[in-house]
Each structure stands twice: as structure tokens, then as C-alpha cells.
Amino acid sequence: MLSSYRQIFAAPGTLAFSFSGFIARMPISMTGIGIITMLSQLRGSYGLASAVSAAMAVSAAVLGPQVSRLVDRYGQRRITLPATAVTVAAAVVLLLLARAGAPSWTLFLPAIGMGVMPSAGSMVRARWANLYSSTPPKLHTAYSFEAVVDEICFIIGPILSVTLATSVFPEAGVLLAGVFLLVGVLLFTAQRRTEPPVRTEEHRAGRSAIFSKGLQVLVATFVATGAVFGSVEVVTLAYAEAEGHKSLTGVVLAIYALGSCLAGVVFGTLKLTGSMATRFLVGVALMAASMVPLVVVGSLVHGTAGLVAISAALFVAGISISPTLITAMALVERLVPATQLTEGMTWTTTGLALGVALGSSAGGLVVDAAGASAGYWVPVASAAFGALVALGGIRRLRAGLPAPRGAAARGGLRPLPSE
């Protein structure tokens, strides 16, 4: 198993850009839950807290692909550094306004400004694709490794963010996220020799990657998937507080990510054949089915036992996440031109971000209106909707994949006739 992962780091510079990319993407797992934890303590409302977090996510959904489009056109370093500066400045303003007790509406303005945060995960994957697009097994392993790194972020990040916010001071989680972003991006952009080349003329000749019908299906499905993630965060935070263990929220969410992380490690070593589109549909369907136990556990079990049971249910639910996301990224690499790869991958994360905004808002509203246990209906409904979207779009997804010869030339995973 380890030999598969060892091979991808044989190329010079791979460890450096992957590690620095890991630091740069830590804020993804820390910022949303950090804002919710901070404002729920300072303002006493999950509705307001989740709305401000949702404003940031919606802004990222609108601005993120445009930032990545500029990255593809002008280069990672040239665009990422100023985007990071704007993000960090907006985060500082948000913390100052929250601490000063400013009117609630003012909190939304810097949250929107934080939406220009560059997509470190997409840029890291673009570097892997630049190295291994002609070696599909290595690219599959590299994407799997990055999915595991994502999950490690979601294991460590929420624990750091919630623990600091609840035990040090409310703004501590968001503050540390800003530090990670700044340090990570500076280290990442310093790795110049592995930065993908800029093909300006080719990029100008093409339309936005979102015009790919297959990519549209992935993005729509990821909106629902993001709603699962966003609502699980908010509802679990509220559930842990209701059971008297709010400070353990990060641990519970880390267990959720751990299930996905372990599944991703195993998935990256598999030599897969058959239709990637079908694998994606199966993954989304399993994700939907795994959400159902949360409603049962949340309603019937309480206290410390309830938190343990929720943790176990989330661990099982997490198993389908990484394989589904890994397959989705492999599909993006097949669906869009190499000159638009960062943008194409960012559109999927944009779908997730928009879904997180919707899910966190819906989760917060349901929690305020009906209690934490009832809030788990939000991820259940979101996951079911995502499965229906994937099922309805499976033909468009398959039709969007290139013919076998073209796919092989572009470096996608080896297709079978069913693709």
C-alpha cells in the first residue's frame, strides 16, 4: 500500500508543494465552523452565526471560480498572493467587528470579502496533473492522496478551531485559520519549479469550464453534498451543546472525517476499471443512505451515550466521502481541457461551498426552530436530493466524457467501453 504512495513523490518538489498546500487549505475546515462557534458565543444565535458563515460560502461560490480562472490564465503565484492578502485583511476586519459588538449587518461585509480565498486544493491537484497526466495510475494515487490530506484537514481543523474558540477566546479559531492561509500560501507559491505552465493563448480561445455538461452535473450534485457537510457541522455543534459537551464538537467532526480519510487511503491503492460515472453515482447513493441513522440516533439517544452514538454514525457516513470526491476529481480531469483544470476543479469546490452555505443556514434555522435532533433531517434530505440529481444527470455525465482514444491521450484513467 505504501509503495503506491511512495512512487508519486519520486518527482522533485512534490513533497514540498503538497505539504505547503496542506497548510494553505487548513482554513477550509476551520473558517466556517470557527465563525459559527465565535458568533454563537458572542451573539447567542446559531441563525446569525450560520448566516454569516453562509455569506462567506456564497461569496466563495461566486468569486472562487473567477480567481481560479485567473490562476489558469496568469499563473498560480501571480494571482494567489493578492487574493490571499484580501482574504486575510477581510478576516481581520470580521474579528474586530465581532469583538467590538458592531451591528450584525456589518459582519456580512468582511465575510463576503473572505470569499476570494484561493483554492489551494485545486492548485495542488493541477500540479499533480501537470506531472502525471500521462501516467494514469500515478495520477489516481496522487488524487487519492490529496483527498486523504483534505480529510486530515477536516480531522485537525475543526478540533483546533472549536477548541481554541471555546477555551481561549471566541475569535481564536478564525485567527489561526488566517495564519495558516498566509503561511501556507507563501510557502506554496515559493515552489516555482512545479508550477504548471501558463498557456495564455489556448486559455483565451476557450469558454469557461462550466459550459461542460458533465461538469454541470458534478457541480449540481456537489451543491447537495456541500449542504450535507454544512448542516452536519452546525447541527452537530448544536447537538453537542444541548447534551452538555460543546467543546467536543471538533472531536466528533474529526471522527466523521476519519472515516473518509481511511476510506481514501484504501481507495488510492486500488486498480479500478469500469465506468467512473457509475462509480460516482454509487458513491453519492451510499452517502445518502448513510445519513439516515443520524436522525434515529439524534432522536432516541441522549447525553454522553448520544454523542458517542452520533460519532459512530458519522464515522460510517464518512466512509463514502473520499472515494466519491476522488472519482469526481478524476472525472473533472477528463471533462475539461488541461488549460482550465484549476477552474474546473474549483467549480466542484464552488458547488460544495454553495451547498455548505445552504446547508449551514438551513441547519441553523431548523435547530433554532425545532431543536438539535430535528436538525439532522437537513443532511438526510440534502443527501437524498444529491442522489436524485446524480441519477438524473448520469447520461449527461457519460456523454460529456471524451472518446476512449482522446481520453487516453489527455491522460485520464483508462476507460472501458461503458464510459
Q: Could you tell me the mean pLDDT of each successive run of 10 residues in the chain, 419 residues long?
A: 77 91 90 88 82 86 87 90 96 93 91 92 89 82 84 78 88 93 95 82 62 85 89 86 79 84 81 79 91 83 80 90 85 80 82 80 85 88 93 81 46 34
Helix (H, G, I), strand (E, B) or coil at 71: helix
Within a domain: 30: yes
Residue 419 CA to residue 176 CA, distance in Å, equals: 44
Q: What is the pTM of this model?
A: 0.75
Residue 391 lies in a domain: yes
Residue 180 is part of which domain span? 14-190+209-410
Residue 4 lies in a domain: no
| DSSP type of residue 197 | P
Domain membership of residue 197 (yes or no) is: no
| Greatest distance between any 2 Cα atoms in the chain | 62
The domain that contains 146 carries what CATH number? 1.20.1250.20
Burial of 169 by CB count in 10 Å (0-12 exposed, 13-18 middle, 19+ buried)? middle
Q: Is 298 domain-assigned?
A: yes
Predicted pLDDT at 410: 38
Rg (CA), the chain: 20
Instruction: Report the candidate in 152, 155, 148, 154 with the shortest Cα–Cα distance to residue 266.
Output: 148
Task: Render 97-155 in DSSP notation, one character per residue.
Answer: HHHHT--GGGGHHHHHHGGG---HHHHHHHHHHHHHTT-HHHHHHHHHHHHHHHHHHHH
Q: What is the pLDDT of residue 257?
A: 81
Q: Is residue 196 part of a domain?
A: no
In which region does residue 13 sit, left (phi positive, over 0), alpha (psi from -120 to 50) or beta (all else)?
Answer: left
The answer to whether the CB of 254 falls within 8 A of the CB of 316 is no
Q: Does a structural domain hold residue 419?
A: no
Contact 188, 125 (CB under 8 A): no
List Cβ neighbours of 163 (8 Å cut-off, separation of 6 or more).
247, 250
* C-beta atoms surrounding 346 within 10 Å: 30
The grid coordinates listed for 224 are: 447537495
Cell match 447541527: residue?
Answer: 235
Residue 128 lies in a domain: yes
Q: Please give the Cα distance from 45 to 48 (Å, whole number).
A: 5
Dist. CA 317–CA 209, nearest whole Å: 31
The total domain count for the chain is: 1
For residue 74, the SS3 value is helix
